[in-house]
Structure 1
Amino acid sequence: MNPSIDLPKTGRSAVTLVFGDTAVRRRNPVIYAGSDGWLAKASENGPQGIGETDLPYGAGAAACLAAANVFRALFADALPNPRLDSDAVLSTFDFSTGATATQGPATTGLDLGGAPIVGLGAIGNGVIWALARDPGPVGAVHLVDHEAVELTNLQRYVLSTQADVGRVKVEVARTALLAGASRLEPLTFLTRWDDYVVGRGHPSFDRVVVGLDSAADRIAVQAALPRRGSERLDPGGRSGRLAPRLPWRGRLLGLPLHADPGRPEPG
């Protein structure tokens, strides 16, 4: 995307990235990444391994941690704190870290039950990427977005390739869900959120999965939820109160799909 940046076919690498159990010796920095279920791992000390699981969440987050470390290694001279992760462990189940990071359930068992997934840009791409690889969630999902993929999107859209430029985003997402391990039934709506709400007859949404990145768009989605304390839902089906509490009822879901089960249900 940047004409000043290219990938040369020859020459020495500035950083080495290793997934799995292989240890290597290099003069340049070596970043090891791995995952196990809900856990994402990155380290400069040695191989992190890859666990046996059907869950994609730890693996997806491990790729993000690895990319962040590569960035720090390459642009160290321009960063105030370019130190690489020595032994980082992140739970995508509850965001706990380190040696006590939580390993969540083996399956999600999440029933999305006709929930709209609104916004299929970079955030929405990540949501669909994960759901397409998780055989646990069931139900119909409404894919809502009014735009097509543009060339400048490719650097941050995990689902799209050069061949997808010009395709509408809802079809790219639908294709990904149908081609993966997902049991979800994707239905496409090539429209804006407000037109989708009007076209559906102003339904009472039980939950909405939000992939929008602007405050104005998120507020518009929240405004469509019936009045009650908003909730988020974890993969085990439990729900809990969002913090801070919002003056709308229904479930407004981002990532992760998890809440503190110890908190009481909103009244």
Structure 2
Amino acid sequence: MGLSNFLSKAGAAASQVLQGYTKELFEEILLRQHVCLAFDEQAATSKEGLQTLDLTVRLLARLYPCLELVPLSSNLDSVKSTLEALAQSINPQVAFGNSGTVTVCIVVGKTKVSYNVPTFYLGSDNWITKFSDSEPVLSGGSDNSLAAGAAACIGAANVFRYVFKDYLPNSSLDTTLSMSLVDYRLNAADPVNPDVRKINIGNVHLVGLGAVGNGFVWALRKSPYLEGNVTGVDGESIDLSNLQRYILTDQDSVDCKKTEVVKNSFCSTGLNIAYHPEHWGEYLEQCCDLTLDTVAVGVDSAKDRILVQASLPKIIFNAWTQTNDLGVSRHIDFIKEPCLACMYLPTEEKQSQSQEIAQNLGLIDVEGEGLIRQYLALNLPVDQVLIERIASAKGISVELLKPYIGYQVQAFYSQVVCGGMLMSFSNDTTAPNNVEVPLAFQSAMAGIMLAAEVIVHAGGFRSNPIGTRTRFNLLKPLSKHNSESCDKLIGTNCLCQDEDYKLVYIAKYMGR
């Protein structure tokens, strides 16, 4: 039984939510777990059931070193083998345990099990996600993967909350729930559940193919009922730490372009897919037509989101993850409704990039910040001088940092700090400042919700207003009140208050 080779990034994520976190405690708790995923013929022969199983394995294998995949019906050995191979492609050291040692269980299908451990039943019905802590909830046969994937995220969240219950404040488990991804009402007597039919989503740009973008693509990758064009834009490559929450990646993805990983993930579908391995600004410079009908935003910084809004798409759907919540926001009309920039304009002074990097590298004095600023301004690679300063500040061996000599400072920072390596090297339990590291089920859920917004809007499935944003915290039981309206930032310097931006938007979309 082995912990993954990207566990340091998972540790960085856990350190942000677990009280009393230490690397040793985190690993000890994980090594005690034998997480069971049980399934029967009902799950294995339904389209939605197979999707729930697929994503559940993708989520569990990124964290837990011992899984047990248990067929509850005969003739399911091939399904079990496929799921085991998927888990091993993510973490080659994962072990498959003995049923006598199960510590927590997830069940997909119609069979009730009798393990004397917390057991979570997952299922879905087209747009409706289902979960129960006591009875099977079954899986539907539609081509719609979204609710099936959301069920996997809720199940993985409950496993995490149970496993780390002694270190998560106020985090009880969900009981029985159903939720439509059309309107997000919880346990509604009349859940919205429109039939999936041929839906043309038009021209959609997906900006950011990271963790949230992976969730978006996973939700659409087997969608024969969809037509239209999806253009993925991201200029970055995969590094090992990304495997912690990029649900489409495995060990073979390291050093590949994010666009290449997404390209290889799409199966038979009616969508036309294009990939651009550039950053958003670089992509726009090459475009002949800056008419952007729908943009789905999966980037992870306020600056990048404001940049997307500045390119004036007609419609923007935005997804986010942060320590205490995840969600989506809707920006349908730049003139009348809050724009994306309204949600992210800074309200207080923030650290500069050089200050943030210096602080998280332990170079907290003025001289250290000036040193980092020099490396950034001159585009200097990490060298022996810099790693000696960092090693001395963090109290670690220079040898641990030598493999990163030659990296650009931002790439070094991304892998060593954001990737959790520095925390692992130094046994420092303090999470990096201004660095959000969500858990895999949080990012996947946000990506699925982002995909749902695109399809729901294109299909005209939402007859009643739902508000500007929907959000909830998967580290706690789901709430009935998770959607809200927001106001435009009247009287500010927001883009949507600028007369020139408004005139350009009107000319681009309302004058056609």
What TM-score does the superposition give when structure 1 sets the normalisation length? Answer: 0.84
Residue identity in the other structure for 2:276: F
What residue in structure 1 maps to residue 112 of structure 2? 23
Per the alignment, do residues 36 and 211 of structure 1 end up closer, same or farther by CA in structure 2, a change over 3 Å counting?
A: same
Q: Is the contact between residue 128 and residue 179 of structure 2 (CA under 8 Å) also seen in structure 1?
A: yes
Computing the radius of gyration over CA atoms, which structure comes out larger, 1 or 2?
A: 2
Q: 1:256 pairs with 426, 435, 452, which one?
A: 452
Q: Which has the larger helix fraction?
A: 2
Report % sequence identity.
35
What residue in structure 1 maps to residue 358 of structure 2? none
Identify the range of structure 1 (97-106 vs 28-37) with the bigger mean alpha-carbon deviation: 97-106
What residue in structure 1 maps to residue 49 of structure 2? none
Could you report, residue by residue, the CA deviation over 1:211-230 in whole angstroms, capped at 9, with x for unpaired residues? 1122211111111016x7x5
Identify the range of structure 1 (254-263 vs 37-46) with the bigger mean alpha-carbon deviation: 254-263
How far is 1:262 from its partner? 4.4
Task: Give the SS at the match of 2:131.
Answer: strand
Distance 1:254 1:245 in 2: 18
Q: Is the contact between residue 240 and residue 261 of structure 1 (CA under 8 Å) also seen in structure 2?
A: no
Query: Are 1:184 and 2:271 an aligned pair?
Result: yes
Q: 1:2 pairs with 3, 7, 11, which one?
A: 7
Task: Give the SS at the match of 1:112.
Answer: strand
How far is 1:60 from its partner? 0.4
Query: Are 1:245 and 2:359 an aligned pair?
Result: no
Could you report, residue by residue, the CA deviation over 1:77-126 in whole angstroms, capped at 9, with x for unpaired residues? 11222322110112112211114363332215432333221100011001
Instruction: Give runs of aligned pairs for residues 170-181 of structure 1, distance below 5 A.
Output: 170-177=259-266, 180-181=267-268
Task: Give the SS at the match of 1:62.
Answer: helix
Residue identity in the other structure for 2:271: L
Q: 2:256 pairs with 127, 151, 167, which one?
A: 167
Instruction: Give runs of aligned pairs for residues 186-201 of structure 1, distance below 5 A.
Output: 186-201=273-288
What residue in structure 2 maps to residue 236 of structure 1? none
Per the alignment, do residues 17 and 254 of structure 1 end up closer, same or farther by CA in structure 2, a change over 3 Å counting?
A: closer
Q: 1:45 pairs with 134, 151, 157, which one?
A: 134
Residue identity in the other structure for 1:246: C
What residue in structure 1 maps to residue 199 of structure 2? 110
What residue in structure 1 maps to residue 53 of structure 2? none
Distance 2:120 2:174 in 1: 8
- The structure, 1 or 2, with the larger RCO (C-alpha pairs under 8 Å, 6+ apart) is 2
Task: Give the SS at the match of 2:232.
Answer: strand
Q: 1:76 pairs with 152, 161, 165, which one?
A: 165
Per the alignment, do residues 198 and 67 of structure 1 end up closer, same or farther by CA in structure 2, a change over 3 Å counting?
A: same
Identify the range of structure 1 (132-141 vs 37-46) with the bigger mean alpha-carbon deviation: 132-141
Distance 1:112 1:86 in 2: 35
Could you report, residue by residue, the CA deviation over 1:47-103 in whole angstroms, capped at 9, with x for unpaired residues? 111112110011000000100110111111112223221101121122111143633
Distance 1:126 1:104 in 2: 21
Q: Runs of 5+ in structure 1 lacking a partner?
A: 233-238
Per the alignment, do residues 18 and 112 of structure 1 end up closer, same or farther by CA in structure 2, a change over 3 Å counting?
A: same
Cα RMSD after superposing both structures? 2.7
Q: Is the contact between residue 55 and residue 106 of structure 1 (CA under 8 Å) also seen in structure 2?
A: no
